[in-house]
Amino acid sequence: MARIYSFKTERNSLDIIRKPKKKLKFPNILMPMKTRKGDESRRKELQTLKGFPSTSQDNYQLNMVNIIRHAVRCFAKQEIVSRKPDGIFRYTYQDAYERIKKLANALEGLGVKIGDRIGVLEWNTYRYYEMDFGIPGTGAVLLQLNLRLPPPTISYVVNHAEAKFIFVDESLIPVAEAIAPLCKIKGYIILTDKDLSEMKTKLSPVYSYEELLKEAEPEYEWPNLDETSTYAACYTTGTTGDPKGVYYSHRNVYLHSMAIALSTELSYRDCFLQMVPMFHAMGWGTPQAATLAGAKLLLPGRYAAEDLGSIVELMAKEKVTVGDGAPAIFLPMLRYIEKMEKKPNLKGARLISGATEPPIAMMKGFHDLTGAEIVHAYGATETTPLVTINRLKPWLEDKLSEEEKWDLRRKQGYTVQGLDIKIIDDQGE
């Protein structure tokens, strides 16, 4: 019989329903906005009414691990390409899934329980991708740690979430060492190809990610986790005071993945470039959406502004058709493309641009030099994050002038499927 667990998130407590424990005080967790007094129409709209019973299998939970299971079942040979400091690493969805199952067994071997928060300090790599499914698949919570924040802020997040373990890339060991004295962590799992005996660190105890996987059992029975359980946690610093925690449910991320795939027309014929840091609001949820669609994934690893030229070359080589990033990334890419003797052919590619409004000159530049479409999108950490996306509707193609079209493309666009928006003034009207 399938195991069904529920990890419930409330305003000031986190309770594991299967085995009730002492309530944990979590005052800095962002919660959905409550309806205002007098807003009876909205209050009525939010009431849940039960209609005639269906014969559908409604107890099937929207667990995120089912996305990678589907990808393996239907697109097992699809590639995941990960850029490393010493070259390119390639494997398939099938290969990744074999390691994800071993990761789940390794976590249980370390004593990780359902509901435990597990921190991750890592770049956009295939190992982070494995943790995106392996950690939440066991019922634990993937705690995204923004490696660009100062140690006191990172340690606040770790302590507030009460993380049990931290996965840390070998290049980020100094960051982990800086927060270690401020945190109570059971252990650190080092993400490296090296033997731990070759490394010097003050962290203790430490485990090798690759050794844990090597020693783990190859098969794992995934728990049928209640879909409202937390999948991952991200702490936003875009507010006053201390960082605020956003705890995404499996259901939320599953539906968000579907919304992204629908809005960007993602399919198994695409190659997705994951430029947005995977520790930032789940990398905008696009690694999960790409997997849902069965798309090829291109993970750039650690990169800086001076590396963007090599990533442009890699985009052309791997035939990228969809990607995401901010204008701060796309603008340097465009400058490099302008200097290339042979421009990359990105005709038909959809490059999702967020964070700030994309300059019209940048959008025109990509279109004229590569054929790629810059698509403006808007979101927020607490909305999983995508809220709106701007694709030009066909009935406007002949109606608007070219300049009007470009002016429209720079705006936020329309809401994605599954969201409602209400615009109010300072008085709530």
Mean pLDDT of the chain: 90
Nearest alpha carbon to residue 382 among 240, 230, 233: 233
Domain shared by 218 and 139, yes or no: yes
pLDDT digits (tens, 9 = 90+) for 170-200: 999 999 999 999 999 999 999 999 999 999 9
Domain shared by 273 and 389, yes or no: yes
Evaluate whether residue 74 is within a structural domain: no
Domain shared by 241 and 254, yes or no: no
Range of the domain at 290: 250-415
pLDDT reading at 390 higher than 50: yes
Evaluate whether residue 188 is within a structural domain: yes
pLDDT reading at 290 higher than 50: yes
The predicted pLDDT at position 421 comes to: 84
pLDDT reading at 14 higher than 60: no
Evaluate whether residue 34 is within a structural domain: no
Distance from C-alpha of 337 to C-alpha of 388, rounded to nearest angstrom: 28
pLDDT digits (tens, 9 = 90+) for 86-96: 999 999 999 99
Q: Residue 285 to residues 39, 132, 255, 276, 343: CA-CA distances in angstroms?
A: 32, 10, 10, 10, 30
Residue 383's CB is within 10 A of a number of other CB atoms, namely 17
Query: Average of pLDDT values for 16-43?
Result: 53
- The tokens for 152 are 């006191």
pLDDT reading at 45 higher than 80: no
Evaluate whether residue 65 is within a structural domain: no
Domain shared by 256 and 383, yes or no: yes
Query: What CATH number should be reported for the domain holding residue 197?
Result: 3.40.50.980
The predicted pLDDT at position 30 comes to: 65
Domain shared by 201 and 332, yes or no: no
Query: What CATH number should be reported for the domain holding residue 370?
Result: 3.40.50.12780
Residue 54 C-alpha from the chain's centroid:
33
Evaluate whether residue 428 is within a structural domain: no
Domain shared by 255 and 209, yes or no: no
Evaluate whether residue 27 is within a structural domain: no
Domain shared by 186 and 264, yes or no: no
Domain shared by 331 and 407, yes or no: yes
Query: Average of pLDDT values for 360-368?
Result: 97
Domain shared by 150 and 272, yes or no: no
The predicted pLDDT at position 1 comes to: 38
pLDDT reading at 43 higher than 70: no
Evaluate whether residue 4 is within a structural domain: no
Domain shared by 320 and 179, yes or no: no
pTM of the model: 0.90
Structural domains counted in the chain: 2
Domain end point (choices 192, 213, 247): 247
